[in-house]
Structure 1
Amino acid sequence: MSHSPATRDRPLSPHMTVYRWPVTMTMSILHRVTGGALYFGTLLVAWWLTAAAGPQSYFDFVNGVFGSWFGRLVLFGYTWALMHHMLGGLRHFVWDTGTALEKHTASKIAWATLVGSVILTILIWVVGYMVRGG
């Protein structure tokens, strides 16, 4: 059976899973994701501040939510999102000056953004734990 030119099988464009994602692309996507997560986290901060201005019983309830294992997990994630987004913003600021745009340098800075955000998050939580008296 012959195919007409209109129905002939044509090669498909390569799917995104064919390519290896560069670290700079991954960090760019994470920068956007963490920016969105910060909107949610800011609602939590506003909830806590509103509770602090309200009755003691409501403040105790909100503190109980944030003090639960799940609440602490969410707050830990919020801290990481904040640190990652901040470092990603600094990375973009450096790029806006026209420096560090070479592929090798940009990849190193992208990895530094990821590693730095994890280290800063852990450091913030360890210091916070020590200040509270362990």
Structure 2
Amino acid sequence: MAEAKRVERPLSPHLQIYRPQLTSITSILTRITGNGLIVGTLLAVWWLLAAAVSPEYFAYANAVATSWFGDLVFFLSAWALWYHYLAGLRHLYYDAGKGLDIPTAEKLGWACVIGSVVLTVITVILV
């Protein structure tokens, strides 16, 4: 029997030619922001519980919540909340059977990304 000639091929050729699409990125971002909201919620709940425990413990929790780390967590949580909200509205629109063509889906994806940034900036300015 003749010996088969092996050709060296990459294990995942699709990864060399695949270009991430905006719709897939926004889908992944929706999942990330949904899970990321947990971090901001946990920090806020910890801060409230610390207020109920003792003044000393609240001072410690307040120092963390008002530090650069707390500010960053709350800022990113505000952005994640706005993004997740807008993505939810987009999915309601999709559920109605509208906006499913690629150009509209990409416009809605950009609307979620840009809209969430604009709404976060407005929120930070007003609050």
Question: What TM-score, normalized by structure 1, do the two folds share?
Answer: 0.83
Q: Matched residues in 2 for 1:115 and 1:76: separation?
A: 16
Task: Give the 5 Å matches for 1:35-54.
Answer: 35-54=34-53
Task: Tell me how many residue pairs correspond in the alignment.
Answer: 125
Q: Matched residues in 1 for 2:86 and 2:101: separation?
A: 19
Q: Matched residues in 2 for 1:65 and 1:58: separation?
A: 11
Q: 1:39-96 CA distances to partner (integer Å, 9 max, x unpaired)?
A: 2222112112212222222222212111112211111111111111111111111101
Q: What residue ranges of structure 1 are gaps of 5+ in the alignment?
A: 129-134
Q: Contact 2:39 / 2:73 at 8 angstroms: preserved in 1?
A: no
How far apart are residue 107 of structure 1 and its match? 0.3
Q: Matched residues in 2 for 1:123 and 1:25: separation?
A: 27
Deviates more, 1:26-35 or 1:46-55: 46-55
Question: What TM-score, normalized by structure 2, do the two folds share?
Answer: 0.87
The two structures, once aligned, show a CA RMSD in angstroms of 1.8
Instruction: Report the equivalent of 2:112.
Output: 113
Q: Contact 2:79 / 2:116 at 8 angstroms: preserved in 1?
A: yes
Instruction: Report the equivalent of 2:100.
Output: 101
Q: What residue ranges of structure 2 are gaps of 5+ in the alignment?
A: none
Identity of aligned residues (%): 46
The residue type paired with residue 54 of structure 2 is P
How far apart are residue 11 of structure 1 and its match? 4.8
